[in-house]
């Protein structure tokens, strides 16, 4: 990894260089192929106030470059904030590479896994349930059951094999559908 430290309108002292180098070294914990890191520190005066700006340009192998610019009144604080933002960006890229890999059907075929068994295992299993009561019922019998029980409605087959619904209405009467 190549590290380039640059100061614009600012002299980089040994403590500032050491702080920049330790900040850049913290980026190695993500085990990514970092080609180079360019750190540019700038001192600017705007509206009579001096503030510092730090720019990190991190070039990764086979990925997009990460560019981070951070302004602050204190140079050390700007370096720390830019470092934390760079770590966050690298953590996102690392997590995408490591955690989001899913095995597709082609990879399964390559590993000689029976695709049909895997597909059947992933399907929802439907278990048919047989109803206890298939015989037709009279409307009067169902009406008596509704009056005696706490149910609000009853679904049944009538003598003509039609599915019917007998229900309690809000006015206390019963409805038949």
Question: What are 31-55's pLDDT values in tens digits?
Answer: 888 999 999 999 998 888 889 999 9
- Looking at residue 102, what is its pLDDT? 61
- Burial class from Cβ neighbours inside 10 Å (0-12, 13-18, 19+) for residue 123 reads exposed
Q: What is the mean pLDDT of residues 124-134?
A: 60
- Looking at residue 52, what is its pLDDT? 94
- Cα–Cα distance, 22 to 86 (Å, whole number): 13
Can you give the residue ranges of every domain in the chain? Answer: 2-99, 139-176
- Cα–Cα distance, 172 to 177 (Å, whole number): 16
Is the pLDDT at 131 greater than 90? The verdict is: no
**Three-state secondary-structure class, residue 171:** coil
- Cα–Cα distance, 108 to 92 (Å, whole number): 27
- Cα–Cα distance, 42 to 53 (Å, whole number): 5
The answer to whether 42 touches 55, Cβ cutoff 8 Å, is: yes
Is the pLDDT at 129 greater than 70? The verdict is: no
CATH topology of domain 139-176: SHC Adaptor Protein (3.30.505)
Confidence class for position 59, pLDDT limits 50, 70, 90: very high
Instruction: Give me the CATH code for the 2-99 domain, please.
Output: 3.30.160.100
State pLDDT tens for residues 20-37.
Answer: 999 999 998 888 889 999
Is the pLDDT at 114 greater than 60? The verdict is: no
Q: What is the mean pLDDT of residues 55-65?
A: 92
Residue 53's region, left for phi above 0, alpha for psi from -120 to 50, else beta, is beta
Is the pLDDT at 176 greater than 80? The verdict is: yes
Ranking 57-61, 103-107, 133-137 by mean pLDDT, the lowest is: 103-107
- Cα–Cα distance, 63 to 37 (Å, whole number): 14
- Burial class from Cβ neighbours inside 10 Å (0-12, 13-18, 19+) for residue 93 reads middle
Ranking 74-83, 97-106, 144-153 by mean pLDDT, the lowest is: 97-106
Ranking 40-49, 65-74, 123-132, 166-175 by mean pLDDT, the lowest is: 123-132
- Cα–Cα distance, 124 to 150 (Å, whole number): 35
Q: What is the mean pLDDT of residues 134-158?
A: 84
State pLDDT tens for residues 76-102.
Answer: 999 999 999 999 999 998 888 876 666
């Amino acid at each position: 990894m190549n590290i380039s430290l640059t100061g614009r309108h600012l002299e980089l002292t040994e403590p500032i260089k050491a702080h920049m180098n330790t900040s850049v070294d913290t980026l190695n914990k993500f085990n990514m192929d970092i080609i180079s890191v360019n750190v540019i520190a700038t001192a600017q005066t705007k509206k009579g106030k001096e503030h510092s700006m730090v720019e990190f340009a991190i070039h990764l192998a086979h990925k997009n470059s990460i560019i981070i610019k951070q302004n602050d009144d204190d140079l050390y604080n700007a370096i720390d904030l830019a470092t934390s933002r760079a770590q966050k960006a690298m953590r996102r890229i690392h997590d995408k590479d490591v955690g989001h890999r899913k095995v597709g059907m082609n990879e399964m075929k390559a590993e000689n896994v029976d695709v049909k068994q895997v597909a059947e295992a992933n399907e929802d299993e439907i278990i048919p349930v047989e109803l206890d009561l298939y015989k037709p019922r009279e409307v009067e019998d169902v009406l008596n059951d509704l009056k005696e029980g706490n149910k609000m409605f009853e679904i049944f087959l009538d003598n003509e094999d039609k599915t019917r619904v007998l229900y309690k209405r809000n006015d206390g009467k019963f409805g038949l559908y």
